[in-house]
Structure 1
Amino acid sequence: MTDVLRYTAFSTDPEGGNPAGVVLDAAGLTDAGMLAIAAEVGYSETAFVFPHDEPDSYHVRYYSPEVEVPFCGHATVATAVAMDHVGTLAFHTLSGEVVVDTDGRTATLTSVPTTSKPVGTEDLDRALGALGWGHDELDPRYPARWAFGGAWHLVLAAKTRERLADLDYDFDGLRDLLTRNEAVTAHLVFEREEDVFDARDPFPVGGVVEDAATGAAALAFGGYLRSIGRVPGPRTLTIHQGDDMGRPSVLSVDVRPDGDRVRVTGAAVPL
């Protein structure tokens, strides 16, 4: 029987964070077998670890209950902490190599190169229609974009916290839009104050209504800010996610103007 560990990431409290399954020895598992395990676990993602021929290096794959995703940040944090390792690890994912520094309680992920691109008018209209948002409810300082930090995400910024809090969306409509654009989640944000954001991440592509913490989206968001010229110097962002779900999560994001890789840090604890 496959041993599945259960951790929650981006929190030091088992009642907070985003739960993830971790299979530290996935050798011999098939794609169908991994998908079946992820569906049985029922978390937004389960990470599957395979051996690599270099020291402190591993192949890692990530499955939601319905699909494989190229990269998952919170499951990477959970996996690194579950390994009980102090030092640097290299996780070889479908998106490329992700370097992970861990002290055994927290992990810092360094993304693959980030990028972003504008959202077309038709796609934006469809996204807002699925969310039930109006164009006038968007924060004009933050243009709608597709952002990548290991996986693609739709970034939309709400003008008010109330708009972000009132999330009741068309599951099938948003899933279809994200799938057509090879995106994983919609990363919905509100600027609470300078360098502090609230976020929510619908994940219908994976069969999940909402993620309580989305490290991959946080990495993409850091790259997005750089691409729109909002990183004049090194910035450390604090992203609060999961509050509206009753699972508070805190993600720390480091982004620099002179590099396209972003770092996100978070804790993880067993469930």
Structure 2
Amino acid sequence: MTDTEVLRYTAFSEDPQGGNPAGVVLDASGLDDAAMLEIAAGLGYSETAFLTGPAGPVWPEEAAPEAGRGFTVRYFSPKAEVPFCGHATVAAAVALAERIGPGELLFTTRAGDVPVSVTAEEGHVRATLTSVVPEVDDISPADLAEALAALDWPEADLDPAFPPRIAYAGARHLVLGAGTRARLADLAYDFARLEALMRRLDLTTVQLVHRAGPAEFHVRDPFPVGGVVEDPATGAAAAAFGAYARELGLVPEDAVLTLHQGADMGRPGVLTVELRAGDPRVRVGGTGVRIP
């Protein structure tokens, strides 16, 4: 394990001081689960991506990636494995593009196959992932009350235009709408209490959202189950939110949404969420750059 190269990239920003940092191990073929968890915990980022390949399973012919561009990916937070992570996917795709060139990639994750398209423009590398098929489910009144108590948010502070739901696009996230930008900015929650609820409901983050315009949102993501207070830019939650917003009719079926995240933490990032009519999957894109 001492010879394992661990790269550091930030996703959803062109500035190494912005976005969400992720670890990337491009060759994890010699690592077992304990070793991957140890690396992720030692690095301390919200997630680290561990790649094996190019090999992976046998894809259907129409979905097979170009030779050498299909990888199996696993994601570990400092505390546990997670089925899918958007920002670490973007980080890994940018790292690969710097070595094998831009183009189409296919990541096989525990949540399913995730195509990633990588482009390079004006010196910046941008990766766009396509989620697995999403789902949106109700949350019980009792569980919602517990979430609000853990957050110390009065129910009156919620935006009634954003009904609380659990949304999935590779991982499960509770979506709550903040009535004001000030409510979103004031985040001080009971870590242990929220973590216990999230573990019981199998949630990865809580996606807190404030609408700034028809297609523009500010978001924050508490992530106690990963061992960190807050995730600075959350691609999986962005995909889940896109599915949520479309299903509830908050945005058109064809839409490009802009999500601002991390500013309240001093790590601003921008996530682009694309919805296409007739395609249930959600595309999430952003730039990435290596952390010196």
TM-score between both structures, scaled by the size of structure 2: 0.91
The residue type equivalent to 1:3 in the other structure is: E
C-alpha separation in 2, matches of 1:232 and 1:192: 16
The separation in 2 between residues aligned to 1:116 and 1:193, in whole angstroms, is 23
- Which of 82, 85, 91 pairs up with 2:107? 91
The aligned counterpart of 1:183 is: 203
Q: Name the aligned partner's letter for residue 80 of structure 1.
A: A
State the match for 1:232 in structure 2: 252
In 1, Cα distance between equivalents of 2:42 and 2:10 = 17
- Deviation of 1:227 after TM superposition, in Å, equals 1.5
Write out per-residue CA displacement over residues 167-203 of structure 1, whole angstroms, 9 at most, x where no aligned residue: 0000011111111111100000000111000000000
Q: Find the partner of 2:73 among 44, 47, 60.
A: 60
Contact in 1 for aligned 2:214/2:251 (Cα 8 Å): no
- Alignment equivalent of 1:28, drawn from 18, 27, 30: 30
1:223 equivalent in alignment to 2:225:
no
Structure 2 counterpart of 1:249? 269
Name the aligned partner's letter for residue 184 of structure 1.
T
> 2 CA distance for matches of 1:164 and 1:28?
43
In the other structure, the counterpart of 2:41 is 39
The question of whether the paired residues in 2 share the 8 Å contact of 1:189 and 1:198 is answered with yes
Q: Answer whether contact 1:226 1:257 (CA < 8 A) is retained.
A: no
**Structure 1 Cα separation of the partners of residues 208 and 76 of structure 2:** 22
Give the aligned partner of residue 197 of structure 1: 217
2:272 and 2:220 map into 1 onto residues whose CA distance is: 15
Alpha-carbon distance between aligned partners in 1 of 2:203 and 2:175, rounded to the nearest angstrom:
11
Percent of aligned positions with the same letter in both sequences? 56
Which residue in 2 is equivalent to 1:9? 11
Distance between the aligned counterparts of 1:260 and 1:41, measured in 2? Answer: 35
Cα distance in 2 between the residues matched to 1:195 and 1:132: 28
The aligned amino acid for 1:90 is L
Q: 1:226 to 1:257 in 2, by over 3 A?
A: farther
Q: Secondary structure at the match of 1:14?
A: coil
Q: Which amino acid aligns with 1:99?
A: P
CA distance in 1, matches of 2:95, 2:290: 8
In the alignment, residue 70 of structure 1 is paired with which amino acid?
P
Mean Cα displacement is larger for which, 120-129 or 49-58?
49-58
Q: What are the Cα deviations for residues 195-215 of structure 1, in whole angstroms up to 9, with x where unaligned? A: 000000000000010011000
Matched, 1:262 2:275: no
1:134 is the counterpart of 2:150: no
Native 8 Å contact 1:115 1:260 kept in 2: no
Corresponding letter in the other structure for 2:117? D
Q: Indicate the SS of the match to 2:146.
A: helix
Instruction: Work out the CA distance in 2 between the residues paired with 1:109 and 1:176.
Output: 30
Identify the residue that residue 172 of structure 1 maps to in structure 2: 192
> Residues of 1 paired with 2:252 and 2:264: CA distance?
31
The separation in 2 between residues aligned to 1:189 and 1:110, in whole angstroms, is 21
SS in 2 for 1:262: strand
Q: In 2, Cα distance between the equivalents of 1:258 and 1:174?
A: 36
- Count of aligned pairs: 271
8 Å Cα contact 2:215-2:251 kept in structure 1: no
Give the superposition deviation at 1:119: 1.1
Show structure 1 runs of 5+ residues with no match.
none
Question: Aligned partners of 1:239 and 1:30: how far apart in 2?
Answer: 35
